[in-house]
């Protein structure tokens, strides 16, 4: 009996409620680990903590992490996260100290991106191919990961997919493109500016310029009504931009543009440098399990470039991809705005009954990389608990069989059922792989999640009255620790500062890293403090690449 009946894979793209089936697939792929995976370093916890401080302070203009201004990204995602937290607390489902409410905008953004890919993809590649392309997008590793991170990129993808869908409609049928659709296009781009500055408009602009040059005609752009559309786009972002400029006396623009955006273009910010070709080299992992199909489809897409739908998708994906390859700072999710177009191109080829086979070397390369990534995920999941906690995790041992089942099922379906069925089967069989990793393996680790364990140790002491005053830390200043232990956590410079903090008021607690123990004890002795150790937390700081031990102290009479 086949692993998955071919007739089900054939009927699913033509199901009566395609959006419902896509939504169910998305939830099955993304929900595991959403609540159980602890907050990560560094971007997620920085975003979540800044949003938490908005809720706590009621200041929805300035973005702060502790006492420090965070003038890097616009405010849109913080508003979305703050609204999510308020809704969760109002309904009594959780509280602002949990990370999952801050991840809900990422999950919702990814879901909207998948549904937008299907909705507007129908006009570009047809209904069946649009369904497959949306399912492939939902299962891509990079998007699955982004739904579990409380930051901007999944929400940004929703605006890009919607805006580019409307742009594609204007390109294919400018005569029927309404003013209402044009207003939607510019409004969505306005939202994207509030999420991540110029990225969304840049994708649309590059596609429009590419099509104008390739077609030697740009009359269709008039259907977008840019004379009032551009002011609408800018007007949506302008009130906050004016407010933040006044509130920070211009520092936001100096730091966001000069310090953040331009530094990423010219140099590898925060050690995230990569050579040109980085995204091509990592595509098999970022787009797993769909990458093999994209590689097979690209030659056919280039041959079919005179077809309006294919031409638009190529103009969407290619210049955006090349631009990010040229930028010095590289992270796997940067090319995500091009993924809907790539998945639709792959699906269009797979669903074409007259498709020409891909070159044998390219098919072999794609399938070989597919098996390599599947095996690597399984092996890495099995090794991770041992490397982190020196233990064998039975749940982690299940990932390799699940990944090999995925790879074997897709390969078998390729041979007897065709690429479309195989790709859809891959998206479905990815559910247990991601579920085991994100819902089983990673949350059960101990060493990497230092902040939550430190907060738990403090909470254990609180019922006895041991922890009454403030809390400070020396030697571990990662954002996840601040989010876990609270906004009032004091980040102290060295052991002497830790001793001074402890002696300043009664009831205070400090956590001292192993490298600062000697200096702390010497300073405490000089100050005449009687130290009591109330616990320790051992772990692995993965952002620094080293193990550490934090000891918790109080001063007693």
Q: Which of 164, 84, 136, 146 is nearest to 110 (CA)?
A: 146
- Please determine, for residue 467, whether its predicted confidence score (pLDDT) is greater than 70: no
For residues 232 and 188, is the Cβ–Cβ distance under 8 A? no
Residue 200 CA to residue 205 CA, distance in Å, equals 9
- The H-assigned helical ranges of 91-152 are 100-125, 127-139, 141-146
pLDDT band at 272 (very low <50, low <70, confident <90, very high): low
Q: Distance between alpha carbon 551 and the CA centroid of its chain, in Å?
A: 33
Peptide bond before 297: cis, by omega within 30 degrees of 0?
no
For residues 172 and 97, is the Cβ–Cβ distance under 8 A? no
- Please determine, for residue 447, whether its predicted confidence score (pLDDT) is greater than 50: yes
Q: Which two tokens stand for residue 361?
A: 């070397």
Report the chain's mean pLDDT, rounded to a whole number. 93
User: In this predicted structure, what is the pLDDT of residue 269?
Assistant: 53
- Please determine, for residue 235, whether its predicted confidence score (pLDDT) is greater than 70: yes
pLDDT band at 416 (very low <50, low <70, confident <90, very high): confident
Percent of the chain with pLDDT strictly greater than 70: 95
Q: Which two tokens stand for residue 58?
A: 């009621």
Give the C-alpha distances (Å, rounded to integers) separating 202 from 20, 256, 357, 442.
31, 17, 34, 35
> pLDDT digits over 136-158, tens only?
999 999 999 999 999 999 999 99
Q: Which of 114, 15, 1, 129 is nearest to 421 (CA)?
A: 129
- Compute the average pLDDT of residues 464-489: 84
- Compute the average pLDDT of residues 380-404: 97
- Please determine, for residue 5, whether its predicted confidence score (pLDDT) is greater than 90: no
Backbone angles phi, psi at 244, to 5 degrees: -70, -30
- Compute the average pLDDT of residues 421-441: 97
- Compute the average pLDDT of residues 67-93: 95
Residue 545 CA to residue 343 CA, distance in Å, equals 35
Judging by DSSP bridges, how do beta strands 509-513 and 546-555 pair with one another? antiparallel
User: In this predicted structure, what is the pLDDT of residue 254?
Assistant: 87
Q: Distance between alpha carbon 266 and the CA centroid of its chain, in Å?
A: 23
> pLDDT digits over 194-211, tens only?
999 999 999 999 999 999
Residue 499 CA to residue 366 CA, distance in Å, equals 58
Give 117's contacts (C-beta < 8 A, 6+ positions apart): 130, 133, 134, 137, 161, 165, 340, 343, 344
pTM for the model stands at: 0.95
Q: Which of 216-230, 432-446, 451-465 has the lowest mean pLDDT?
A: 451-465
User: In this predicted structure, what is the pLDDT of residue 136?
Assistant: 98
In the sheet that 509-513 helps form, which strands lie side by side, from edge to edge? 490-492, 471-474, 509-513, 546-555, 531-541
- Please determine, for residue 540, whether its predicted confidence score (pLDDT) is greater than 50: yes
User: In this predicted structure, what is the pLDDT of residue 222?
Assistant: 97
> pLDDT digits over 508-537, tens only?
999 999 999 999 999 999 999 999 999 999
Q: Which two tokens stand for residue 146?
A: 């982004």
Residue 402 CA to residue 430 CA, distance in Å, equals 8
- Compute the average pLDDT of residues 390-417: 96
Q: Which two tokens stand for residue 533?
A: 């150790």
Identify which has the larger pLDDT, 187 or 269.
187
- Please determine, for residue 133, whether its predicted confidence score (pLDDT) is greater than 70: yes
- Compute the average pLDDT of residues 280-305: 97
User: In this predicted structure, what is the pLDDT of residue 439?
Assistant: 97
pLDDT band at 373 (very low <50, low <70, confident <90, very high): very high
Number of residues assigned to the chain? 557
Q: Which of 139, 155, 56, 46 is nearest to 96 (CA)?
A: 56
pLDDT band at 417 (very low <50, low <70, confident <90, very high): confident
- Compute the average pLDDT of residues 111-135: 97
> pLDDT digits over 25-78, tens only?
999 999 999 999 999 999 999 999 999 999 999 999 999 998 899 988 999 999
């Amino acid at each position: 009996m086949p692993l998955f009946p071919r007739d089900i894979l054939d009927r699913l793209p033509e199901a009566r409620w395609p959006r419902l089936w896509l939504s169910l697939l998305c939830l099955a792929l993304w929900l595991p680990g959403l609540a159980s995976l602890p907050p990560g370093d560094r971007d997620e916890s920085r975003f979540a903590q800044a949003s938490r401080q908005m809720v706590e302070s009621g200041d929805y203009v300035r973005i702060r992490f502790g006492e420090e201004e965070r003038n890097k990204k616009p405010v849109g995602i913080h508003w979305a996260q703050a609204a999510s937290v308020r809704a969760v607390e109002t309904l009594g489902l959780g509280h602002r100290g949990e990370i999952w409410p801050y991840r809900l905008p990422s999950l919702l953004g990814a879901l909207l991106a998948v549904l937008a890919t299907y909705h507007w993809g129908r006009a570009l590649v047809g209904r069946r191919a649009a369904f497959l392309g949306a399912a492939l997008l939902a299962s891509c590793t990079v998007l699955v990961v982004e739904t579990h991170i409380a930051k901007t990129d999944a929400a940004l993808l929703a605006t890009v997919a919607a805006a580019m869908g409307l742009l594609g409609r204007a390109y294919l049928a400018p005569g029927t493109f309404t003013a209402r659709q044009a207003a939607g296009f510019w409004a969505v781009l306005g939202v994207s500016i509030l999420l991540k500055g110029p990225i969304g408009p840049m994708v649309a602009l590059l596609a429009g310029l590419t099509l104008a040059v390739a077609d030697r005609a740009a009359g269709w752009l008039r259907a977008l009504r840019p004379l009032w559309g551009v002011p609408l786009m800018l007007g949506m972002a302008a009130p906050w931009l004016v407010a933040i400029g006044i509130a920070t006396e211009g520092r936001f623009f100096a730091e966001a543009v000069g310090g953040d955006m331009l530094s990423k273009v010219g140099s590898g910010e925060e050690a995230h440098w990569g050579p040109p070709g980085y995204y091509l080299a990592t595509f098999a992992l970022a787009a797993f399990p769909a990458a093999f199909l994209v590689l097979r489809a690209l030659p056919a897409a280039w041959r079919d470039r005179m077809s309006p739908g294919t031409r638009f998708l190529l103009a969407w994906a290619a210049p955006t991809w090349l631009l990010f390859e040229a930028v010095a700072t590289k992270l796997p999710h940067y090319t995500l705005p091009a993924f809907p177009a790539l998945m639709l191109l792959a699906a269009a080829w797979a669903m074409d009954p007259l498709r020409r086979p891909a070159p044998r070397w390219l098919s072999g390369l794609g399938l070989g990389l597919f098996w390599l990534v599947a095996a690597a995920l399984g092996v890495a999941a099995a090794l991770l608990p041992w490397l982190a906690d020196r233990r064998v995790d039975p749940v982690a041992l299940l990932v390799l069989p699940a990944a090999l089942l995925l790879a074997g099922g897709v390969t078998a379906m390729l041979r007897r059922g065709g690429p479309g069925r195989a790709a859809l089967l891959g998206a479905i069989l990815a559910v247990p792989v991601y579920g085991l990793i994100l819902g089983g393996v990673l949350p059960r680790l101990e060493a990497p999640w230092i902040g939550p364990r430190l907060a738990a140790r403090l909470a254990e002491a609180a019922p006895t009255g041991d922890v009454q005053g403030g809390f400070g830390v020396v030697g571990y200043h990662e954002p996840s620790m601040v989010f876990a232990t609270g906004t009032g956590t004091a980040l102290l410079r060295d052991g002497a500062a830790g001793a001074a903090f402890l002696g300043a008021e009664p009831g205070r607690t400090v956590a001292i890293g192993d490298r600062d123990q000697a200096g702390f004890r010497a300073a405490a002795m000089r100050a005449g403090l009687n130290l009591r150790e109330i616990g320790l937390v051992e772990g692995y700081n993965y952002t620094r690449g080293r193990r550490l031990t934090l000891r918790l102290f109080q001063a007693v009479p």
